[in-house]
Every structure is written in structure tokens, then in C-alpha cells.
Amino acid sequence: MLITVEGFDRTGFPSLLWDSVEKYTNIDTTSGVAVVSLVILVLSNVPTVLLLGHRMAAAAAMVSPGSEKKAWLILAWVSTVAGNLSLLGSAANLIVCEQARRAALPPLGYTLTFGNHLKFGLPSTLIVTAVGLNIIK
């Protein structure tokens, strides 16, 4: 995976993407934190953290020394919580979904669909993300 991520990074596409949104990601503003958090929530996975981490920290360091630490905390918090957003957000989610499907014997069985998970995952992820970001602030 690390080789694939490095190869993808060398294409220049991640830098191009970051350059197009960087002006909206000042983490000393509420809107900047919201943009960064949204990008991380949507794209969150290990490659995203590897590709965005150093870019995000470097941009924050230009604002102030304390902002770099804040950037890493935001990235760590949001990428961790983002795994709860959808079934695809975490391998653990897929394992639990499969185990629930295998146990689908009445009356205990339950088929966990993408939509069923999203009904809980979306609001809970947004709430927990917001609470954590307020603590980091």
C-alpha cells in the first residue's frame, strides 16, 4: 500500500488537489476547519492521511507554530472518527456487517445494509466530530 500511495503522490494529483483547496483550509477559522474536516471525512483512509498530513501541517505551520500541532490533532481526530461514517470507512465495519449477516437466523439475525449503517453512521459521526473539534479548538 505504501508503494502505491508513494506512486500516486508522484503523479502530482494530490498536490494539485491540495493546491486547489488550500486557500479554504486555514484552520484558525471555523470555515477552514469545516473544509478540512469535510475533506478528511469524505476521503478518510490511511492513504488520505499519508497524502494530506504533511501538506496540511506545512500550510498550518505558515500560519503559526501552534497551528501545526492543531492541524495534526484535527487530522488524527477526524480521520479516526470518519471510520464510523459508512460501512466502507473501516475494515472493522465490514467484518461486523458480515458477521451480522452470517448470524441472520430468526429471531437474532440482522442484515446490516449500507443504508442502515449510514442512518446511524452519518449523524453520529458528524456529532462526535463536532464535539472533538470543539475540544481541539
C-alpha angle 90/48/114, rounded to 5°?
Answer: 30
- Which pTM was predicted? 0.79
Percent of the chain surpassing pLDDT 90: 23
For the chain, how are helix, strand and coil distributed in percent, rounded to 5? 80, 0, 20
Q: How confident is the model at residue 106 (pLDDT cuts 50, 70, 90)?
A: low
CB atoms within 10 A of CB 27: 26
Q: Greater confidence, 99 or 12?
A: 12
How much is the pLDDT for 107?
Answer: 62
Give the residue extent of every domain in the chain: 2-136
What confidence tens digit (pLDDT) does each residue in 35-60 have?
A: 989 888 887 777 778 888 888 888 88
Residues 78-96: b if buried by 16+ CB within 10 A, e if exposed: bbbbbbbbbbebbeebeee
Q: Per-residue pLDDT for 94 more than 90?
A: no
The answer, yes or no, to whether residue 66 has pLDDT greater than 90, is: no
pLDDT at 127: 96
